[in-house]
Amino acid sequence: MEKRIVLISGVSSGIGKALASKFQKEGFTVAGVSRTAPSEDLKLDLWIQGDLTLPASRTEVLNSIRSKYGRLDVLINNAGKGIYEVWKNTSETDLRDIFELNFFTVVEMTRLFLPLLIEAKGTLINISSVAGKIHVPCMGPYCATKSALNSFTDTLRVELHSSGVRVLNIMPGRIDTGFSSRSLGSMTPPHTPGALLPEKIADKVFALFCSSRSELIYPSWCGLFIQLMKLFRGFYERQNIKRWGI
């Protein structure tokens, strides 16, 4: 059988790198795009350097996939970044910056590659966050981008039901990716132990891909946490006031 093609954004590190390794092990041809080159231990079938917030870079990626493979079976929108800042101190530049990568770039990459995915009856996988389901103080802009991404993914799934394209939403909790060190904003997040390895969620994402389900919250206890937060909102908010010193 012809090997299936997967394209992963933000492939150079973290979850993107772990996903690339996992899909390669499962027999996929893996193409990746990122601003910085992947480490030497990741041997991609195709790497494209680019800033996906730029329309010209997105078009270049599409043309590269079309010319080399002529098809696409899986698109994984993984690239993203965080911000640690209170709303009153968040600059318009930073707000637009984080929405551009975390939300608008995902929408535009999806629309650009939809014809190929529809032709292949392929799969779209969006990497969102548990933060899109809860309100984390001092991370409001990030939560807003992921909440918007959740809504985009869920509504798109319904709209594409007759096309044969699967739409999967991945909502990780704390994953050890160096997220904080690359985030925008002036605040330092409080220490929270228990970050999980990217390889763990990569395994879970592939298992979801092989199943009939369309959503993953990982680790699973985060789903319970979301429900408890809604039930005990006051307690949750008081604890966060203490943790962040606000």
Domain locations in the chain as residue ranges: 5-244
- pLDDT computed for residue 14 by the predictor: 94
- Tell me the whole-structure pTM to 2 decimals: 0.94
Between CA 65 and CA 48 the distance in angstroms is 10
pLDDT tens string, the chain, 246 residues long: the values are: 579 999 999 999 999 999 999 999 999 999 999 999 998 899 999 999 999 999 999 999 999 999 999 999 999 999 999 999 999 999 999 999 999 999 999 999 999 999 999 999 999 999 999 999 999 999 999 999 999 999 999 999 999 999 999 999 999 998 888 887 789 998 988 877 777 899 999 999 999 999 999 999 999 999 999 999 999 999 999 999 999 999
Between CA 125 and CA 205 the distance in angstroms is 9
Q: For domain 5-244, give the CATH superfamily.
A: NAD(P)-binding Rossmann-like Domain (3.40.50.720)
Between CA 130 and CA 132 the distance in angstroms is 5
Between CA 135 and CA 30 the distance in angstroms is 35
28-53: buried (b, 16+ CB within 10 Å) or exposed (e) per residue? bbbbbbbeeebeeebebbbbbebebe
Q: Active-site positions?
A: 12, 128, 142, 146
Question: Can you tell me which residue has the tokens 């965080």?
Answer: 82
Between CA 16 and CA 79 the distance in angstroms is 8
- pLDDT computed for residue 180 by the predictor: 77
- pLDDT computed for residue 39 by the predictor: 87
- pLDDT computed for residue 176 by the predictor: 82
- pLDDT computed for residue 1 by the predictor: 55
Q: How many residues does the chain have?
A: 246
- pLDDT computed for residue 242 by the predictor: 94
Query: Could you write out the DSSP letters of every residue in the chain?
Result: -PPPEEEEESTTSHHHHHHHHHHHHTT-EEEEEESSPPPTT---SEEEE--TTSHHHHHHHHHHHHHHTS--SEEEE-----B---GGG--HHHHHHHHIIIIIHHHHHHHHHHHHHHHHT-EEEEE--GGGTS--TT-HHHHHHHHHHHHHHHHHHHHTTTTT-EEEEEEE--BSS-TGGG-BSSPPPPP---PBPHHHHHHHHHHHHTSS--EEEESTHHHHHHHHHHHTHHHHHHHHHHHHT-
